[in-house]
Chains A and B, each alone.
Chain A
Amino acid sequence: MGYAAGVGKTYKMLEEVQELKAAGVDVVIGYFEPHGRKDTIAKTEGIEIIPRRKLDYRDSTFEEMDTGAILARHPQVCVVDEFPHTNVPGSERLKRWEDVEVLRAAGIDVLTTMNIQHLESLNDQIWQISGIRVRETVPDWVVQQADEVVMVDLTPRALLNRLQRGVVYERAKAERALQNFFREQTLAALRELALRQAAYEVEHRMVDEETGASSTDGAAVRPRKQHKILVFVTASPKTAMVVRRAKRVSDFLGAECFAVAVQPSGDLSGLPAADREAVERHLNFARNLRIETRILEGDDVASTLVDFGRRNHVTQIFLTRPRRKAWSPTFSRDPMQRVIDLAKDMQIVIVSDREPLPR
């Protein structure tokens, strides 16, 4: 895990590969992205590389990891660079991390690399920090399945030096990068996020191993009561942001998480097509993050949601910010405002937009 291109993730991974090889482990490179970096390329010396698979798409030829060939070769350990990569259409699987799941299911150990900005639940915070909407994301549960997460650190100053020396990208690309993503404060904030995530990953693995027993020094405090988080899913484009944040908080608190939409008919058929499509997309998004979803039936959206919460011992409801009514919150028909007024016995979390500073 790193926080930017050029911090040395692939180099560090290949160093470990060389050690494994020296120790007699059968290790191959399943996918490696050289980016023209000489030091890194030198580290592949003597390691078997499984040739990439060529795929044609829209008059171009793309190269992808040949998962079938790796399975046939069946090494003990396989190196797969750039874990969050999206495969070209026509590949067997949409995402490289899904290919990695296939390799692991076959009993092959995998070493892989990713940057913090590709973690799904941090997508809005990354947008806030860098002004970049990262499209290639990895769901948090996929990263949680890793046996180990190791932070590859480099100070922003050293990274900027590398960039200026042309070690990371060729000159034109390096100059663009320096003006955008690679600004000192952006890098520092991403690095801080990566360090905190790595600390969480270490703690999370300890808590799991302790099978719930609280540790002696209180470093791994368990919640006294079990938290249950309910996400209110609507057609609003801000729903994805609420889902991500709710998932992140529930992971950190060790809570259960549900995502719920409410419709008078109990399904989505009564909605205009665009809204139906949006609600379906949001429910799907939640399911992909391994959140249980439900569509509730009820004419009064807010009270149906709150009743469901009470019956299911929900402790926290996550919402988008209610629309401001100039004249009165008391008689508001905004469902968000109504949920806040109805659920005074529950914790309500109004999730904020996380917006970058305008340049």
Chain B
Amino acid sequence: MARELRRKTPEEALRECQAEEAVAHKGHLKIFLGYASGVGKSFRMLDEARRRHERGEDVVVGAVQPHVPPEVEPIIRKLEVIPLRTVGNGTAIDVDAVIARHPSVCVVDGLAYNNPPGLRNPTRWQDVRDLLEAGIHVIASINVQYVAELREQVKAITRKHVDQTVPLAFIQDADEIEIVDAPSVEPMEHSPDEQLQAPEYEERLSKLRELALVVTADVVDHQLNEYLECHGIQQNFGAHERILVCITPRANMQEMMEIAQMVAKRFHGELMVAYVKQPNISAADQSALDARLAIANAAGAHVEVLEGDDPAATLLEFARSRGITQLFVGHSQRTGLARLRGSPLDKLIWEGHGMDVCVFPQ
């Protein structure tokens, strides 16, 4: 997760700001994300459609689920519905009909369906992309299980493989995402399957729920950073814990990495590792360093090799540019006269404003 949603470099952000301006005529996408059926996504989404309709917006329903919950039915009756197309055994949004009708807002319940073969797009989210390109706003719903990049994580929780998915990038690029949260017992009350009323099922739901909350937080973080960068605001809010482990060829990396990984996991944070290139290092140090960088890579950390004359200043500059909240570094080995003017560690401690500096035994 952390690696896919890492903070962007300023150049990437600038490119995206420019790209955004170029597509100002595109429709807005708002996604309601839930963690299971029965949490009330369809209701929340259609309730918003109803309110917009009552405020005078031109709203149509482009797709509803095959089984509509009872509290949703009266809302659908108030709205204009463009029926799904039936092709063979499958159904799909009638994209041409929606584009011809050209409403202001189109409601799409269930973003992750695959279309039957022979249509303009293989999947429903691509249909939605076409509607957006045509300048139609879309409000849509999806369960966290159907995010492509989360498939493995979801499979570990549910032991089920899903083959209809939506790419994370499509969800990240939505203009708005809103989570529909509910206690884990609520979907159970709506579950038609009696066998699933067990404690394991509740735990499974809790894990999906946690995943949905974290994914939403990551998307919000991504959008927040984009907003800050587009508006040239240099501010680190620290809402997402970002840990930077600073290594040297001699650093005792094992404990630092173990704790860094645990902290990152517990805070749902992001883990980075940085090394400031040192001139003329020995062959032994170089191979020790390579081994450490390999450990960092294997741990799934984003690894950065930096260059600069002043190691402490270089690390701090990098840390600030990436919104680091916790800087991990080894205790200084220097003593006595060598420390008269302060070691690089002393500088990190004195000047590491805005981030906690965690100093580890060597």
Question: Does B108 sit within 8 A of A, measured CB to CB?
Answer: no
Determine the distance from Cα of A344 to Cα of B334 in the docked complex, in whole angstroms: 12
Q: Are A196's CB and B238's CB within 8 A?
A: no
> Within 8 Å CB of B339, what residues of A?
328-330
Q: Are B228's CB and A185's CB within 8 A?
A: yes
Q: Are A195's CB and B356's CB within 8 A?
A: no
Closest to A195 in B: B217
Question: Does B50 sit within 8 A of A, measured CB to CB?
Answer: no
The 8 A CB mask of B22-66 against A (1 = contact, 0 = none) is 000000001000000000000000000000000000000000000
**Total contacts A to B, CB within 8 angstroms?**
174
Q: Are A330's CB and B336's CB within 8 A?
A: yes
Q: Which of A82-90, A146-154, A295-303 contacts B (4 or more CB under 8 A)?
A: A146-154
Q: Are B239's CB and A196's CB within 8 A?
A: yes
Question: Does B119 sit within 8 A of A, measured CB to CB?
Answer: no
Q: Are A352's CB and B357's CB within 8 A?
A: yes
Q: Which of A91-99, A134-142, A216-224, A306-314 contacts B (4 or more CB under 8 A)?
A: A216-224
> Within 8 Å CB of A195, what residues of B?
179, 213-214, 216-217, 220
Determine the distance from Cα of A191 to Cα of B362 in the docked complex, in whole angstroms: 39
Which of A157, A189, A202, A346 has the most B CB atoms < 10 Å from its CB? A202
Question: Does B206 sit within 8 A of A, measured CB to CB?
Answer: yes
Closest to A340 in B: B359
Task: Give the B interface residue count (CB, 8 A).
Answer: 68
Q: Are A202's CB and B210's CB within 8 A?
A: yes
Question: In whole Å, how far is B142's beta carbon from the nearest beta carbon of chain A?
Answer: 15
From B234, B268, B354, B362, A354 is in contact (CB under 8 Å) with B354
The 8 A CB mask of A147-171 against B (1 = contact, 0 = none) is 0101111110110000000000000
Q: Are A153's CB and B237's CB within 8 A?
A: no
The 8 A CB mask of B338-362 against A (1 = contact, 0 = none) is 0111110010011011111111111
Given A196-B217, A350-B349, A352-B356, A188 contacting B227 (CB threshold 8 A): yes
Given A188-B224, A219-B210, A329-B342, A151 contacting B179 (CB threshold 8 A): yes
Question: In whole Å, how far is B30's beta carbon from the nearest beta carbon of chain A?
Answer: 7
> Within 8 Å CB of A157, what residues of B?
175-176
Q: Which of A40-48, A62-70, A203-211, A267-275 contacts B (4 or more CB under 8 A)?
A: A203-211
Question: Does B168 sit within 8 A of A, measured CB to CB?
Answer: no
Question: In whole Å, how far is B176's beta carbon from the nearest beta carbon of chain A?
Answer: 4
Q: Are B350's CB and A322's CB within 8 A?
A: yes
From A184, A252, A348, B266 is in contact (CB under 8 Å) with A252
Question: Does A245 sit within 8 A of B, measured CB to CB?
Answer: yes
Question: In whole Å, how far is A341's beta carbon from the nearest beta carbon of chain B?
Answer: 9
Question: Does B331 sit within 8 A of A, measured CB to CB?
Answer: yes
Question: In whole Å, how far is A349's beta carbon from the nearest beta carbon of chain B?
Answer: 5
> Within 8 Å CB of B331, what residues of A?
340, 344, 348
Q: Are B214's CB and A199's CB within 8 A?
A: yes
From B177, B180, B238, A125 is in contact (CB under 8 Å) with B238
Question: Does B263 sit within 8 A of A, measured CB to CB?
Answer: yes
Question: In whole Å, how far is A220's beta carbon from the nearest beta carbon of chain B?
Answer: 9
A-B contact pairs, 8 of them (CB 8 A): A148-B183, A185-B233, A192-B220, A206-B203, A221-B265, A221-B266, A328-B340, A347-B359
Chain B residues with CB under 8 Å of chain A are 30, 153, 156-157, 175-184, 203, 206-207, 209-210, 213-214, 216-217, 220-221, 223-224, 227-228, 231, 233-235, 237-240, 258-259, 262-263, 265-268, 331, 335-337, 339-343, 346, 349-350, 352-362
List the 9 closest pairs (A to B, CB-CB), nearest first: A195-B217, A199-B213, A189-B237, A217-B156, A192-B239, A151-B181, A155-B176, A188-B224, A348-B359
